[in-house]
A and B are shown apart, each in its own frame.
Chain A
Amino acid sequence: MSLEDAKEGKILRILKFNAGQNAVSRMNAHGIYEGSEIKIIKNAPFRGPVMIENVKTGGRIMIGRGIARKIEVDLE
């Protein structure tokens, strides 16, 4: 399942980044890696970004819809 379709409030694990190198290193910089456990906080309206929380570090970040589409996640 892609992060774009994930339901709010769910805790998921990131399986794979299908995004470009630039996006991947930016996500790494924000503490999001393949294997990271994340919680879906909110899907912005008008097909805006997805707000997620890294369960381990506690940091919240927003990820643009285009990138979120390329992130593969699965239920814990």
Chain B
Amino acid sequence: MNSDEIVIALVGQPNSGKSTLFNVVSGFFVDTGNFPGTTIKYTKTTVNVDGTVISLIDLPGIYSITSFDPAEKITRDFLLSEKVDVAINVVDTSLLARSLELTLQLLEMRIPMVVALNMYDEAEKKGTEIDIEKLKNLTGLEMFPVVAVKSLGIKEVFRAAVKFTQKNYKPILPVYDRDVEECIAKIEEKYPPRLKELLKVNSRFVIIRILEMDEEYEKFALMADPEFLNFVKTMRNELAEFHNWPEESVFSSHRHAIVLDLFEKVATVKSREKKPVREIIDDFIINPIGGIVVILISLLLLFSASFFLGNLFSSLIEAPLYIVKTAVTSPASGIIRSILEGLFDGFAGGFGIVIPYLVPLLLLFALYEDSGLLTRISFMVDGILHRFGLHGKSVLPLLLGYGCNVPAIMATRTLESERDRLLTILLAPFIVCSARTVVILALVGKYLGVIAVLFVYLLNIAVTLVISRILSRYRSETTTGIIMDVPPLRLPYPEIVFKKVWMKLYDFLLFAWPIIIISSLALSILNYVGIDSIINQALSPITTFLLKLPEEAGITLFLGIFRKELTLIMLNSALHTRDVSSILSNGQLWVLTIFIVFYIPCLATITTTIKEAGIKIAGVSVLLNLMVAIVISALFAMILV
């Protein structure tokens, strides 16, 4: 980071519109990265405000700094480090009473900050009127009404952040009940100087954190002076007993009371005469019958968009791509030609197969997500998914898998619990991605009919659920119960939706596409060198004995690990025919398709799994898929061939 740049961090609760604000001000190319040693992501961009260059960081959304969530700890440490010049606290004004809890905690951290009262229009719609001047006076913070989706008030916030000076900053810290304040004062007297050296954070904040059972700060206190820690613990215990509250929430309950009091001072809530339309729609969606109808329509739309639009686009670009390919590769010969072909196939595969299927999916997902429909779908299906050991929030990543497994695995980041995340990562490769859809349509669809295609999908879903059930038994702890915000239904803003789709696509282009190209290149070279017969022989116990397929299928399946959709093309060349049914019986077609649907995830998926969950989980994932594929297709081979 440049020293003359101002670093501004966006911090706020999930669904506060923090990322929307970020998207509105950012350009098309943003940096994303993980905090060192974690899977917690941040996004960074450069913004120019009246000639001042700002490095803007979008921190993960956090509800508070009280719980034991790793994202909260990282956000806290990042804000307390000297890397941030000013923080912009993005607040959902329509949920002001809840959002202020985080604002007060940030205030207690005494970091330089200004507040963006986002979704100001929604608060007005809800009938909540806020006396901003009063709120500013009571907190000592600069605040601005903002409607991020309409770009209203953003300039003002950023200008205030740029002009922020410590000199004029007089934050008014929340004052707790007398007994709590006395307790803090008594602890303050004994605050060890050594702890001040260890933690360069104001002592009041540290004391409050320890009173809220912050494990990390407790460790620092223990290091500085074990007696001091014991003293704080005794005080904490007394406080909890006195108020008859559980120890871990005695402090947050106090803060909650302060927030409610503050809210009542600044807000007037008018009751509305009639129910707004969106609530009437909402009532319909969360009704069992309405809900099932809406879910079915959403799913139908999702699949048909992916199938029809995907097929349409990929067939449209097929011919031009072929012309370009011959133009590029025909002048060359020998290994050079193979290399060129490999590179081109990889490029075309990403462009012509994955993207046409992925874009409609991403677009619909962004719409479902931004409108609040996805939350309602999670609400409706959580009960069913729970039976299979899954979490309602797993719906999004798993459905995204029908486009491509890579973004599906990336999307598991939204799952808070490690157990749910790993389970979803292991299940994602079972979902039939667009590359495998191509194979299913071309083998089963072409030779065995539409009903057969449907059967393959249903079989796949059934198997995935059974595996989920088994895996969740294996991980003994049960899935953490869902606790999730239900934001009101909203009309998505096209700009924000497109930005969102672009960001996800950008992730894919940057990471998965190069791997597809490299795999394709490797494939082409292996083909040129001619190792097929060795591999065919090595794999024959599986291919010919268990699956009862021709030995030549071995190389296709092996190379299919690099690129799933290419199994088809390679099958044609390995069997020396374009009409596969002339060589394979119907039974063999079934076996082959089912094997391709379930076996080893493609290289791009494996690499993503390694990146997101480590090499061990990636290994488990590969073995699991292989095992399931062999067992199921061997069963089919026994019955049908």
Chain A residues near B (Cβ < 8 Å)? 17, 21-31, 33-35, 41-42, 44-49, 51, 54, 56-68
Contact = CB atoms under 8 A, between A and B. Distances in A.
B249 interface: yes
Contacts of A23: 480-481, 483
Contact of B383 (A33, A61, A65): A65
B249 to A, nearest CB: 6
Contacts, number: 137
Contact of B95 (A24, A25, A58): A58
Contacts of B485: 30, 59-61
B352 interface: no
Interface string B232-276: 000000000000011011001100100010010000000000000
A62 B248 contact: no
Interface stretch (B64-72, B142-150, B195-203, B490-498): B64-72
Interface string B163-195: 000000000000000000000000000000000
Which of A30, A44, A54 has its CB near the most chain B CB atoms (within 10 A)? A44
A58 B488 CA distance: 11
A35 B260 CA distance: 12
B605 interface: no
B248 A49 contact: no
Contacts of B249: 24-25, 28, 33-34
Contact of B98 (A31, A34, A41, A49): A31
Interface in B104-137: 126, 128
A64 B386 contact: yes
**Chain B interface category by residue count:** 35 or more
Contact of A58 (B97, B379, B384, B484): B97
Contacts of B98: 30-31, 54, 57, 59
Interface string B289-306: 001000000000000000
Contacts of A49: 379, 382-383, 392, 481-482, 484
For the complex, would chain A's binding face be called helix, strand, loop or mixed by DSSP majority? Answer: mixed
A48 B427 CA distance: 22
B63 interface: yes
Given A65-B481, A67-B481, A28 B252 contact: yes
Given A21-B248, A47-B383, A27 B66 contact: no
Contacts of B126: 58
A48 B486 CA distance: 15
A67 to B, nearest CB: 4
28 contacts: A22-B68, A23-B481, A24-B248, A26-B483, A28-B66, A28-B67, A29-B66, A30-B483, A33-B253, A33-B256, A34-B245, A42-B286, A42-B287, A45-B291, A48-B381, A48-B383, A49-B481, A56-B263, A58-B94, A58-B95, A58-B126, A59-B95, A59-B98, A59-B485, A60-B486, A61-B483, A62-B382, A63-B481
Nearest to B285: A42
A63 B422 CA distance: 22
A26 B248 CA distance: 12
A26 B66 CA distance: 9
B101 interface: yes
Contacts of B488: 60
Given A22-B480, A63-B481, A44 B63 contact: no
B380 interface: yes
B414 interface: no
Interface of B: 63-64, 66-68, 94-98, 101, 126, 128, 245-246, 248-249, 252-253, 256, 260, 263, 286-288, 291, 375, 378-384, 386-387, 392, 478, 480-488
Contacts of B263: 56-57
B256 A51 contact: no
B69 to A, nearest CB: 8
Contacts of A56: 97, 260, 263
Nearest to B67: A25
B423 to A, nearest CB: 16
A41 B383 contact: no
A27 B96 CA distance: 17
Contacts of B381: 48
A44 B256 CA distance: 28
A67 B483 contact: yes
B113 to A, nearest CB: 20
Name the 7 nearest CB pairs between A and B, nearest first: A48-B383, A64-B481, A46-B383, A29-B63, A31-B98, A57-B97, A67-B481
Nearest to B383: A48
A61 B95 CA distance: 12
Contact of B384 (A42, A46, A66): A46
A57 B95 contact: yes
Given A42-B286, A57-B95, 20 more contacts: A23-B481, A23-B483, A24-B249, A25-B248, A25-B249, A30-B485, A44-B383, A48-B381, A49-B482, A51-B486, A59-B95, A61-B484, A61-B485, A62-B484, A62-B486, A64-B386, A64-B482, A66-B478, A66-B481, A68-B481
Given A23-B481, A34-B245, A59-B98, A29 B382 contact: no
B554 to A, nearest CB: 44
A35 B250 CA distance: 13
Contacts of B252: 25, 28, 33
A24 B386 CA distance: 20
Contacts of A54: 98
Contacts of B128: 58
Contacts of A59: 95, 97-98, 485
B383 A45 contact: yes
A29 B248 CA distance: 12
A34 B98 CA distance: 15
Nearest to A68: B481
A25 B392 CA distance: 20
A45 B386 CA distance: 12
Nearest to B269: A58
A60 to B, nearest CB: 4
Nearest to A23: B481
Contact of B380 (A34, A44, A60, A67): A44
Nearest to B485: A61
A21 B166 CA distance: 38
Contacts of B378: 62
B640 to A, nearest CB: 35
Contacts of A46: 383-384, 387
